[in-house]
Chain A
Amino acid sequence: MLVSRNARSDSLTLEGRVLAPAQGIDESLRITVTGGVISAIEPGHAGSLVVAPAFVDPHVHLRTPGREDEETIRSGTEAAAAGGYCAILAMPNTDPVVDSAAVLGALHERARESAVVPVGFMAAISKRQSGEELTEMAELAETGAAAFTDDGRPVVSAGLMRRALQYSALTDLRLALHCEEPTLSRGGHMHEGAVSAELGIGPYPSSAESVMVERDLALASAESRPIHLMHLSARESVEALEQALANGVEATAEVTPHHLVLTDETVRSLDPNVKMNPPLRAAADRGALRDALRRGSIPCIGTDHAPHARQEKDVPFEEAPFGVIGLETAFASLYTHLVLPGELSLATLLERMSTGPARAFGLDEPRIEVGARANLVALDVDGEWTVTDDGFRSLSANSWLLGETLRGRVVTTVADGRQVFAA
């Protein structure tokens, strides 16, 4: 082991191939952390470890408040720590919805007691996420909301979306958008294509996402307001995004590990753990997402970690809820399925899991430099492990990777100067 630490959890050294793409670092170094701060960076030995700025997940469902049987702030942040994350953003589609300063304040209180990894909480765009009235965005921003989103459902009304874009200019926060036209996705459980036609599963066409992406980009352009497009899945959405970027619209976007690795062919298994919203799409869509990630027009990888109770997923496909977990498997799944086959460089993967999301949401970028708070992940890229139902820190196990053997293990995670995970 190259990792050594003293009795205090916030002083340690990490040695290996240090890869910080945003800073142009790729060399063998030894990093010393003292009192939570990087105190020395010296020449070191390369081993099998890669040390990088720790990951930032812009899209996590902590299910708190309301469904603490599926995830809690503690279990979700422990999962994040095990996945190499130093910061995560939690979605507000809880029960109650995070749509008031009171609910948000209570969450901050709980997170101060139990969050292993720093968490930011997004607040809703509309009260109860019902798409009718705006939340009190100024007060929510004052209370510390990380961004605004109605994730889980779209903002159906174009008029309300326009007002939300205008009013949120009172804050520094951007809108993170779940793009879905409900009259096109209604009754849909998987991507519309040859596989849905053959299986007879209700179709959820790409246009259900892309027409909303186009609408929201047009509104963002008209209002000169930045937006973040969540969990893009369709080629047409990527095309719309890149067109808008070329026209100067300020937009960021994220893609999930499952949309980068799987296609709708996987749904033939009828495994409820490959059912998510938006659905897995065709190979051409996956190719467009990979291209956009490489180019940087999609600058973020977000897991859309969506825990569901075991009994809710242990039902026929169409009866199962949408969503899969991803915090603990994100790096390994992408390293195994994209980096090792040569589809994506390790440097790009690390950048899109760390600097990209941090920049998109205005968070402190994890950096490797003397004097910086330590936000580091050490990865054994040759380490093999098998994903099992009982191996998760998450309270839920609805993973699309159950039973699969992956390459790439998180060995150590340091978040905000504290060692929060050691394998």
Chain B
Amino acid sequence: MPELRPPAPPKRHLLSIRDLARDDVERILDRARSLAASLDREVKKLPTLRGRTVVNLFYESSTRTLASFELAAKRLSADTMSIRSAGSSVDKGESLKDTALTLAAYEPDVIVVRHPSIGAAELVARHTDAHVVNAGDGKHQHPTQALLDLYTIRQALGRLEGVRVAIVGDVLHSRVARSLVQALLLVGAEATLVGPPTLVPRGLESLGCEVSHDLDATADANVVYVLRMQRERMTDAFVPSLREYTTLYGITPERVRKGQLVMHPGPMNRGIEIDPRVADSAAALVTDQVRAGLVVRMAVLYDVLTAAPTPVPVPDRVEVA
């Protein structure tokens, strides 16, 4: 009954990779690259979003995502405010809707939302006039992570079309994996999911990716993308032990083919899903990903604010490349 659903929201928000077309992704990545060039200058701050307000509403602990959104907004001269669930009215039982309405009263231009429940960013978008960026909702989506990963791959390999990416580990609980698979397929890359049958949900292959339970499936990948293995996954019998998981799926130096690149969204469990020698090797792009996070999030903030219906005037100084 697709006719029962509301139409896809316009792109004034970034809620899910599904809402994007290939052109949208390329526009954001190109913008990120030009912004990266501007960051090489002595004065790193751009006046682009002066007078704009970006609120970061984080219901889950986060280091790199929150830091990079804060810094991205500041680099674009926006005013920023970060609200964490701990110590806020959220602690007092305020609903997400009421928190959104309260924040909306300050008329922020952008609200960046991270929340443990799927659809939280969408709910905030429904109840406020702000542009909303999803910084992770439950196990659903983390679109800026996927975009920064594409950016990182494109910088490293010079292309995205035809690139083969093997995503290894706990796909079931990973919003990073879901967003990344969709983003890779959107830009013409190939994705293979690798992990134990209990952690790779059946049905994901309908997106157009390959699925394997054997780590050998990573052999011809250009990029091995390692997912974080949560320590508590034994309790629901997803795996019998971390030791057996590491034996079967841990990315060790012997398992990385010559020329392969290794990525990880962080935070890493060294010695579990990734061997420290791999994490610290030249093949690992982990810190490139963190740097990409800043410029891609700058580009995303810029992108949603230039979308209808309340565009910022396109400043001539942003195209510095």
Chain B residues within an 8 Å CB radius of A203? 201
Output the residue of B6, B138, B204, B207 with the most chain A CB within 10 A: B138
Chain A positions 153 through 190: 1 when the CB is less than 8 Å from some CB of chain B, otherwise 0? 00000000000000000000000000000000001000
CB-CB < 8 A to B140: which residues of A?
A: 199-201
Using CB atoms, name the residue of chain A closest to B2.
A265
Would A315 and B5 count as touching, CB distance under 8 A?
Answer: no
Q: What chain B residues lie within 8 Å of A193 (beta carbons)?
A: 202-203
> Of the 9-residue stretches A41-49, A266-274, A294-302, which lies at the interface with chain B?
A266-274
> CA–CA, A238 to B196, complex, Å?
31
- State whether the Cβ of B115 lies closer than 8 Å to any Cβ in chain A: yes
Chain A residues whose CB sits within 8 angstroms of the CB of B120 once the complex forms: 316
In the bound complex, CA of A199 to CA of B120 (Å): 13
B residues near A316, Cβ cutoff 8 Å: 96, 115, 117-120, 123, 137-138
Q: Does A314 contact B (CB under 8 A)?
A: yes
A376 → chain B, closest Cβ, in Å?
Answer: 31
Given A194-B204, A314-B97, A315-B97, decide whether A266 and B1 contact each other with a Cβ distance below 8 A.
yes
B95 lies within 8 A of chain A by Cβ: yes
Nearest-CB distance from A253 to chain B (Å)? 23
When distances are taken between beta carbons in the complex, the residues of chain A under 8 Å from B139 are 200-202
Residues of B within 8 A of A344 (CB): none
Quote the shortest CB–CB distance from B206 to chain A (angstroms): 4
A193 → B minimal CB distance (Å): 5
Contact: B202 with A197, CB < 8 Å?
A: yes
A242 at the interface (CB under 8 A from B): no
Q: How far is the CB of B37 from chain A (nearest CB, A)?
A: 35
Kindly state whether residue A247 has any CB partner on chain B within 8 Å. Answer: no
Instruction: Please measure, in the bound complex, the distance between the C-alpha atom of A404 and the C-alpha atom of B115, giving whole angstroms.
Output: 30
Other-chain contact of B6, A192, A198, A265, A269 (Cβ < 8 Å): A269
Contact A194 B206 (CB under 8 A): yes
Bound CA span A25–B6, Å? 42
Known: A315-B95, A315-B96. A200 touches B202 (CB 8 A): no
User: Which residues of chain B from 201 to 217 have a CB within 8 Å of any chain A CB?
Assistant: 201-204, 206-207
Whether B117 and A317, one on each chain, are in contact in the complex, defined by CB atoms closer than 8 angstroms, is yes
Q: What is the bound-complex CA distance between A270 and B4, given in angstroms?
A: 12
A200 touches B117 (CB 8 A): no
- CB distance B203 to A198 under 8 Å? yes
The smallest C-beta distance from A317 to any residue of chain B, in angstroms, reads 5
- Return chain A residues, CB-CB under 8 Å to B174: 200
Q: What is the minimal beta-carbon distance from A389 to any residue of chain B, in angstroms?
A: 15
Per the 8 Å Cβ criterion, residues 118-157 of B in contact with A are 118-120, 122-123, 137-141
Q: How far is the CA of A262 from the CA of B137 in the complex (A)?
A: 25
Roughly how many angstroms separate A318 CA and B59 CA in the complex, as a whole number?
A: 15
**A-side contacts of B137, CB under 8 Å:** 316
Query: How long is the Cα–Cα vector from A337 to B3 in the complex, in angstroms?
Result: 12
* A196 adjacent to B201 (CB under 8 Å): yes
Q: A262-B1, A315-B95 are in contact. Are A200 and B206 (CB under 8 A)?
A: no
Contact (Cβ within 8 A) B203 A197? yes
> Is A69 on the interface with B (CB-CB < 8 A)?
no
Asked whether A4 is an interface residue with its Cβ less than 8 Å from the other chain, the reply is: no
A263–B140 Cα distance when bound, in Å, is 19
| Residues 298-324 of A contacting B (Cβ, < 8 Å) | 311, 314-319
Task: Give bound CA distance, A382 to B179, whole Å.
Answer: 45
User: When chains A and B are docked, how far (Å) is the Cα of A23 from the Cα of B166?
Assistant: 64
Interface hub of A195, A199, A266, A271 (most chain B Cβ within 10 A): A199
Establish whether residues B5 and A268, one from each chain, have CB atoms under 8 Å apart when the complex forms: yes
Chain B 168-206, CB-CB to A under 8 Å as 1, else 0, gives 000001110010000000000000000000000111101
Assess whether A218 is interfacial by the CB under 8 Å rule. no
Min CB distance B14 to A, Å, is 16
B94 to chain A minimum Cβ distance, whole angstroms, is 12
Chain B residues within an 8 Å CB radius of A319: 117
CB distance from A335 to the nearest CB of B (A): 15
Q: Which residues from A are CB-within-8-Å of B1? A: 261-263, 265-266, 337
- Measured CB to CB, the nearest residue on chain B to A263 is B1
In the bound complex, residues from chain B placing their C-beta under 8 Å from that of A400 are 4
A263 to B5, CA, bound (A): 12
Q: In whole angstroms, how far apart are the Cα atoms of A343 and B100 in the complex?
A: 43
Given the contacts A194-B203, A316-B96, A318-B138, A200 and B4 also touching, CB distance less than 8 Å? no
| B230 vs chain A, min Cβ distance (A) | 14
Q: With A261-B1, A316-B123 given, can you name 16 additional A-B contacts, CB distance below 8 Å?
A: A193-B203, A194-B203, A197-B203, A197-B204, A198-B178, A199-B140, A201-B139, A202-B139, A262-B1, A265-B1, A265-B2, A266-B4, A315-B117, A315-B123, A316-B120, A319-B117
Q: Which 8 A-B pairs rank lowest in CB-CB distance, beginning with the nearest?
A: A200-B139, A194-B203, A316-B117, A270-B119, A197-B201, A197-B203, A194-B206, A197-B204
Jot down 18 A-B pairs with beta carbons below 8 A, ordered by A: A195-B203, A197-B201, A197-B204, A198-B178, A200-B173, A201-B138, A201-B139, A201-B140, A266-B1, A268-B5, A311-B95, A315-B95, A315-B96, A316-B96, A316-B120, A318-B117, A400-B4, A404-B4
